[in-house]
Structure 1
Amino acid sequence: MTSTRSTATRRRALLSASAVGLLAVTTACSSVDSGGGGGAGGGTTEGGSGTLAELQESGTITVGFAGEEPYSFQDDGGELTGAAVALNEAIYGELGIDTVEGTLTEWNSLIPGLNADRFDSISAGMSILPDRCEQAAFSEPEIMYTTAFLVPEGNPDGLDDWQSAVDAGVTLAVMGGAIEAGYAEDTGVETIQVGSPQDGLDAVVAGRADAFALTGISLRALAERSDAAVEATEAFVAVIDGVPQIGAGATVFRQADTELLDAYNEKLAEIVSDPQQYEDVLGPFGFTEAERPVEGLTAEMLCEGDLEAIADELGPELGQDS
C-alpha cells in the first residue's frame, strides 16, 4: 500500500485482447489523478436517482484506489490497472461510462473519501465486512479471498488445507497483522512473523519456516516472480473451529447511490455467473476459478457477518459438508 499521489493521466484499452473480444464494442480509459472533487453528484442527488444518469452523460467515473497489486495499482508506466479496475471498466463500459479515472488514496481514507464525494466509487477489492457496510454500500461479491501456502518444491509436508498444517506440526511464516496470523493463533500452529511477502519467501528458502501462509492470489504471483525452488499450493478456504473463514471483496458505493449500485450489480452478475467471462476479465491478473464467488453468496450475508450461518447455507458450494 502506498500514500504517494500522481497527477499523470493516460488512456488505455478496456481489457486484454480476449476481453475485448468478449465485450465487443465496449472500450474504456483509465487515468490517475491526485484527488480533489471528483464526485459525480453523489452528495447532491436524493436516493442516488441522478448519479447514474450524470455519470453516463459525462462518460467518466472517478474511482478511489489504494495502490495494492493485483487489485488496483499503477503499472510501471503510471497507468491505472489491476483486476478490480478491469472489472470496473468492463461493467461501467457496458453502462455507457467509457472512462475510468483513478484517485490514489490511503486505504483508511477510501470510505471517508467516497462519502466526501472525492470519487464516485471504490475500486480496491475491499472486503465486505459488517462495520464497513454501516458506512457504505457494497456490490455483490466480486473476488473470493482464499488462503494458500508457499512451500518448497514438491510440497514435502503435503500441505493442502489449514488442518493439514495443524496435523503436520509445521512452522509457518505469517505476516504480522494478516488474517493468517490469527488462524495460526487460533489453531496452535507455531509461527514466525515476517514483514513482507518477500520476507516470507526468504524464510521458506532459508529453512526458517516450513511454509508461508498468505492469500492464494498473492502467493501465486510471488512464486511466479521468484527463481527460488518454491511453489504455491492450491488455494482453499481455511476452516477454523469447524467454520469456513469466508470472505469476499467488492466495489463500494455511497449508500445513497442505489440506482448506480443496482445497475452495476446487474452487469456484475453476468460476469460472475460465467466462468469464461470471469477468466477473460480477471485472468490476466492471476485470478482463477478459486477466486470466483460461489453461487448464493451475497453482500447482505457478509454484511451480517455470521460466517457459521453462511457455511450452513452454502456448505456444498464451498466444498464443505452442509
Structure 2
Amino acid sequence: MRIQRENKHRARRLGAGLAAVLLAASALTACTKTDTDGELTLDSLREKGTVTVAFANEAPYSFEKDGEITGGTIALHREVFKRLGVDNVKGVKTDWGGLIPGLNAKRYDLVSAGMSITPERCSQAAFSVPEINYTTALMVKPGNPKNLSNMDTIKSSGAKMAAMTGAIEADYASELAIKDPMLVKDQQSGIDAVNSGRADVFALTAVSLNYAKDNTPGLNVEVTKPFIAVIDGKPQNPAGATVFRKGDTSLRDAYNAEVKKILSDKAEYMRILGPFGFTEENIPDPSLTTEQLCSGA
C-alpha cells in the first residue's frame, strides 16, 4: 500500500511538472505570436484580401466620388496591390493632419495621399520610393488682384494665405515667416476660404488646384502658373509617396519592388494616373531617392 501511495504521489508530481512545462511553452508561444503580429506583412494582407488605406479627400490624389474612393494614388495602389495578390482597396477618410498619427495608431494599413517626403515625416513613418513629383500653385480670385505668383509674393504683399494643416505648403509658410496663415482641414475648406473672401490665396500642389478648377462647376477662381518654392535660397524638390508604419519594412519593400516597375514605364504610369490629370512631368527622376528627401539633401 505504501508503494502504491508513493507511486500516486510521484505521478501527481510528474503531472504537475508537465502541466507547468506546457503552460510555460504556451506562454512563450503566445509572446512570440504577439511580437510577430506587431508587423503588418504582405502575407497577412493576402489572407484578408484587402488593404485599408487612409485618404485626405484631396483630388486628384485620393478622394470620394459618388460614394466610392478614387484618384491617382488610389488607382496606383489598386494596381500595385492587385499585382501583389491583394484584390481590394478600402478607404478611411482622414483629415490631412491626422494621416500619420492614425497610421501609427493602426487605424489603417497605409496612407494613400501623395504625401511629400520630408525629414520630419520620416522621423514618424516610413515612405516608399518617390512616386509623384509635383510643383506648387496658388488659387486666387479672378484677375489675381494681389498679383501673386509664388510664396515670396504672398509674404511681400501681406496676402492672407490658406494651407492645409500638416501639408508642405504650411511648412513653407512657417519657414518663410508668412504672417498668420489660415490652416484648413482639407482641400475643399481652402477653396471655400478663397471663394468666400476669408483668404486671398490657397496654396497647394498645381495638379490639385487645376483639377479642382476644371472639375468644379461654377467655381470662379484662377490658378497661377506652377512654381518651385525656394526656401533659404534652396529650390524645394517635393515628391509624394506611399506612407507605411516604420515597423512594416517587409511590406514596404515588397510594395517598392512592384511600384518601381510602373515608375520605369511611362506608358504604364500614364495609363494609371493620366486619367486624373497627372502627366509625365509628375514621374520622379529615378536618381531621386527616399533617403535623400528624408535627409533634407
TM-score of the two chains, using structure 1 as the length reference: 0.64
Which one-letter code corresponds to 1:222 in the other structure? A
- Separation (CA, whole Å) in 1 of partners of 2:251 and 2:217: 41
Matches within 5 A, 1:59-70: 59-70=49-60
The answer to whether the 8 A contact 1:47-1:258 is kept is no
Matches within 5 A, 1:105-254: 105-150=94-139, 165=153, 172=159, 174-175=161-162, 180=169, 183=172, 196-200=190-194, 213-224=203-214, 225=216, 227=218, 231-254=222-245
Choose between structure 1 and 2: higher helix proportion.
2
Q: Is 1:285 paired with 2:276?
A: yes
The answer to whether the 8 A contact 2:173-2:181 is kept is no
- Separation (CA, whole Å) in 2 of partners of 1:127 and 1:159: 24
Q: Is 1:81 paired with 2:70?
A: yes
The answer to whether the 8 A contact 1:121-1:251 is kept is yes
Over the aligned positions, Cα root-mean-square deviation in angstroms equals 3.8
Deviates more, 1:86-95 or 1:271-280: 271-280
Residues 265/113 of structure 1: CA separation in 2 closer, same or farther (3 Å cut): same
Measure how far apart 1:171 and its partner are. 6.8
- Separation (CA, whole Å) in 1 of partners of 2:125 and 2:238: 17
Alignment coverage as a number of residue pairs: 257
The answer to whether the 8 A contact 1:201-1:212 is kept is no
Report 1 or 2 for greater relative contact order, CA contacts < 8 Å, sequence distance ≥ 6.
2
Which one-letter code corresponds to 1:245 in the other structure? Q
Residues 159/252 of structure 1: CA separation in 2 closer, same or farther (3 Å cut): same
Paired residue secondary structure (1:214): strand
Which one-letter code corresponds to 1:219 in the other structure? L
Match of 2:247 in 1: 256
Match of 1:266 in 2: 257
The structure 1 residue matched to 2:62, chosen from 55, 66, 72, is: 72
Residues 288/236 of structure 1: CA separation in 2 closer, same or farther (3 Å cut): farther
Q: Is 1:58 paired with 2:45?
A: no
User: Which consecutive unaligned segments of at least 5 residues does structure 1 have?
Assistant: 1-41, 310-322
Paired residue secondary structure (1:125): strand
The answer to whether the 8 A contact 2:74-2:112 is kept is yes
Which one-letter code corresponds to 1:175 in the other structure? A
Residues 155/74 of structure 1: CA separation in 2 closer, same or farther (3 Å cut): closer
The answer to whether the 8 A contact 2:141-2:194 is kept is no
User: Which consecutive unaligned segments of at least 5 residues does structure 2 have?
Assistant: 1-32, 185-189
Residues 179/52 of structure 1: CA separation in 2 closer, same or farther (3 Å cut): closer
- Separation (CA, whole Å) in 2 of partners of 1:118 and 1:43: 18
Matches within 5 A, 1:297-308: 297-304=288-295, 306=296
The answer to whether the 8 A contact 1:172-1:191 is kept is no
TM-score of the two chains, using structure 2 as the length reference: 0.68
Paired residue secondary structure (2:85): coil
- Separation (CA, whole Å) in 2 of partners of 1:293 and 1:179: 17
Identity of aligned residues (%): 48
The answer to whether the 8 A contact 1:150-1:201 is kept is no
Deviates more, 1:93-102 or 1:225-234: 225-234
Residues 156/271 of structure 1: CA separation in 2 closer, same or farther (3 Å cut): farther
Matches within 5 A, 1:94-105: 94-105=83-94
- Separation (CA, whole Å) in 1 of partners of 2:279 and 2:180: 28
The answer to whether the 8 A contact 1:73-1:82 is kept is yes
Residues 65/153 of structure 1: CA separation in 2 closer, same or farther (3 Å cut): closer
Paired residue secondary structure (2:51): strand
The answer to whether the 8 A contact 1:144-1:292 is kept is yes
Could you report, residue by residue, the CA deviation over 1:171-203 in whole angstroms, capped at 9, with x for unpaired residues?
755215665576578769899969622432565
The answer to whether the 8 A contact 1:142-1:293 is kept is yes
Paired residue secondary structure (1:45): helix
